Amino acid sequence: MNIRFAAVGVVFLMGTGLAVAESGKANTPFQYIDMPVKEVANRVGVQPNQANNIVFDSADRHVLLESNGGTVDYVDVEFTNTPPCNPQKEIESEAVLKSLGLNPAEMELAIKQPGNHTYYDHKRMLKVGVSCNYEGAPLTAGFSRKNYMNLTSSAKQ
């Protein structure tokens, strides 16, 4: 009986264009930024979809590696095993960052709003956002080099 449910899950994922990757591939997905999509696909064992993006699930994360011009330029991680969040309440961004292998103490917190924390990781030259997008949503973390260090002083805190 358990085997039947596992087979149904695999068929469902294959039918939706999603894939299940080893959980280690989702632990530090920001490492794939600026890498060629083909190389990333080989590393994670998941082929790009029609939009040339790579989408996969691990045991506790849904990962989108978005490409532009043949390289990964944005990473979005949805934490599927966290309780639903509320954007009006303070989020635990430090715990999210630590689970991704990042040290929040080594990052600059540029924006701190209850449901949205934006950090600059100067070591990796990344803009990192941890957010609750809507009530009942899972926590998400996004990584990009776009707009790194481009916040105006009025947007800060």
Spans of all domains in the chain: 2-144
For every one of its 157 residues, what pLDDT tens digit does the chain have, with 9 covering 90 and above? 443 333 333 333 333 344 444 446 678 999 999 999 999 999 999 999 999 999 999 989 999 999 998 999 999 999 999 899 999 999 999 999 999 999 999 999 999 999 999 999 999 999 999 999 999 999 999 999 987 777 544 444 4
The two structure tokens encoding residue 35: 């890498």
The two structure tokens encoding residue 139: 């926590």
Residue 61 CA to residue 141 CA, distance in Å, equals 11
User: Which strand (E) or helix (H) includes residue 83?
Assistant: none
The two structure tokens encoding residue 36: 């060629």
Total-model pTM:
0.79
- By C-alpha distance, which of 82, 64, 45, 83 is closest to 143? 64
The count of residues in the chain is: 157
The two structure tokens encoding residue 79: 């934490």
Domain with residues 2-144, CATH architecture: 2-Layer Sandwich (3.30)
